[in-house]
Amino acid sequence: MKRDALVTAVTEIILKHVPEEREDSSLESMVADLVRFIEPLTADSSAEPTGRRLVITAIGRDQVGIIHAFSGILAERNVDILDVNQTILRGNFAMMMIVDPAASNVSFQELKEAMKSRAEELGVKVYVQYEDLMRAVSRI
């Protein structure tokens, strides 16, 4: 929560409970103390980045069952598929998926490894990455 919003919220709560005859300066220091106490508790701790989606791109020889193969791996690992698209790119098949790994039971590395092994079996190339790069390049 942004600091300004926190200060406003705390001030409102205090004013709700405290009689209006109180001096302003003590109100200020009350708010200051409370904000100082609360702020560190609401600080984001960024270990695993949350709320970021993955972009999975597979390119290779067109064959039956590519989307099925990859979506199977994702389903096993509880990765939610948000969007799927495919196209033919100069005779090659290109599959693009946007997925949400938030509820997944495996790490990014494990998921990437699993996708890569499957890709090797199928003779296609697969790229598994967070959406950051696409977002950086395509969105202001």
Partner 1 sequence: MSYTKKEILETIRMTELEHFDVRTVTMGINLLDCGHEDPVEVGRRVSEKLTRLASKLPSTVEEIAERIGIRVANKRLAITPVALISTRPTPDAYVTIARAVDRAAEEMGFDFVGGYSALVHAGMTKADEALISSIPETLSSTERLCSSVNAGSSRTGLNMDAILKVVHAIKETAYRTRDRGSIGCAKFVVFANAVEDNPFMAGAFHGTGLEECVVHVGVSGPGVVCQAIKRAGTCDLRELSSVVKSTSFKLMRVGELVGRDVAEKLDVPFGVVDLSLAPTPELGDSVGEVLEAMGLQRTGACGTTAALALLTDAMKKGGVMGASQVGGLSGAFIPVSEDANMITAVREGALSLEKMEAMTSVCSVGLDMVAVPGDTPESTLAGFIADELAIGVINHKTTAVRVIPAYGAGVGDTVSFGGLLGEAPVMELKNLSCEKFVGRGGRIPPPITSLKN
The contact set with partner 1 (CB under 8 A) reads 46, 55, 57, 59, 82-83, 85, 87, 89, 94, 96, 98, 108-109, 127-138
**DSSP codes joined into one string, 58-115:** EEEE--TTHHHHHHHHHHHTTPEEEEEEEEEETTEEEEEEEEE-TT-SS-HHHHHHHH
Cβ of residue 116: shortest distance to partner 1, in angstroms?
A: 12
Taking the C-alpha atoms of residue 27 and residue 108, their distance in angstroms, rounded to an integer, is 48
Q: Shortest distance, CB of residue 18 to partner 1, whole angstroms? A: 39
Nearer to partner 1, 58 or 69 (CB): 58
Least spacing, CB of residue 88 vs partner 1, in Å: 11
Query: At residue 61, what is the residue type?
Result: R
Nearer to partner 1, 33 or 48 (CB): 48
For residue 20, count other CB atoms closer than 10 A to its CB. 6
Nearer to partner 1, 15 or 133 (CB): 133
